[in-house]
Amino acid sequence: MILENRSVRRQMTPEEVLCVLISRQKACQEDVPAEKRTVEFHFDMPLDEYETIMLDAPGILPLDTDAAWPADDMWDGMERLFDVSIPGATWKFVITPWAERTLRDLCEVVAKYAYVDASRPVTLFGRTCEAAGTFVVVRSAMARAGIDVSDLRPSTRLDAVLKPRYHLAFDREMTKVAPGRVSPARWEFHIVCQTFANIAGIGGVMSVIGGILILLILPLFLLPEDGSLPVQIIVGSLAVISLVGASLGLMLLTLGLVGLLATCWLPPREIAVGGLETMRDLCCAVAKKT
């Protein structure tokens, strides 16, 4: 039986907006030592402090690097994260006066415009099924992330449908649907892609080192000759080695980049979402079931 899209959209609350931000903050600091982690977001946090944390950990919000000033970054990032469009005049009112505003003000205005899928039971064969309602919500969120959900079933493995190019959108949608309950997607590139990436990295290092050596050796050719044949041989040899190294590095860098572009479609070796393996596992995590 194919479930119709029965999910409904409801307005978010300021508490849910804050919970999404906290979830994103924790995800960005998973690999950061505890003593170096930033203070957890809270409603009474001044916008100055929030701005500092946001700029130190840009992964919290999808930022526009061309923004003219920090508040524009915050404005743009919040709209992208919650998929909203808030009038400029409203933003200006919320952040003015800047020194007196807190994160509560920001969350409250976003909550007025942000919507999230709400699960409602689905009737199957005359019986009400809450799990099916959760499945529809998760499927809708994955569809908005660009993932093909046409053949999605509870038994479908996540690594069969998740691709690296979807992970940012998937994480964003899951954070809104189930903040703090679904870990960010992590993956390992296909062995062929990883090989080409390593080749490109080695080539880049060789090119840089070779170029630096050439710049250091070049002035020696401009000095008056002192007639010392061994010195001339050493300088000439170093120049040749540097030139060959830089040239070989450029060739490897080009080969690596071309190879990456040609093999980027290959599936990842492994993709993990916090230990979840199937759509059923993901739905249970969203619904807080075990």
- For residues 277 and 154, membership in a common domain is answered with yes
101 falls within a domain: yes
| Confidence (pLDDT) at 6 | 55
- For residues 195 and 170, membership in a common domain is answered with no
1 falls within a domain: no
| Confidence (pLDDT) at 38 | 81
Q: How far is CA 97 from CA 36, 72, 158, 189, 269, in A?
A: 30, 15, 46, 47, 50
55 falls within a domain: yes
- For residues 159 and 276, membership in a common domain is answered with yes
205 falls within a domain: yes
| Confidence (pLDDT) at 13 | 92
- 282 touches 139 (CB < 8 A): no
Place of tokens 């080409």: 196
- 113 touches 9 (CB < 8 A): no
- For residues 154 and 93, membership in a common domain is answered with no
Helix boundaries (H) for the chain:
14-28, 47-56, 70-82, 88-94, 103-111, 130-144, 158-161, 167-177, 191-222, 229-263, 279-286
| Confidence (pLDDT) at 290 | 41
Domain that holds residue 25: 8-115
- For residues 87 and 100, membership in a common domain is answered with yes
- For residues 26 and 109, membership in a common domain is answered with yes
**Phi, psi dihedral angles at 26 (to 5 degrees):** -65, -40
2 falls within a domain: no
Per-residue pLDDT tens listing for the chain (290 residues): 445 555 678 899 999 999 988 888 887 777 778 777 888 899 999 988 888 887 776 667 665 444 444 455 667 778 888 889 989 888 888 878 888 899 999 999 999 999 888 777 666 666 767 777 888 888 888 888 888 888 888 899 888 888 777 777 888 888 888 887 887 787 777 888 889 999 999 999 999 999 898 888 877 766 665 556 676 777 778 888 889 999 999 999 999 999 988 887 777 777 778 788 899 998 888 887 54
- For residues 77 and 109, membership in a common domain is answered with yes
Domain final residue, candidates 100, 115, 130: 115
Total number of domains constituting the chain:
3
Place of tokens 């189930």: 178
**Phi, psi dihedral angles at 270 (to 5 degrees):** -155, 140
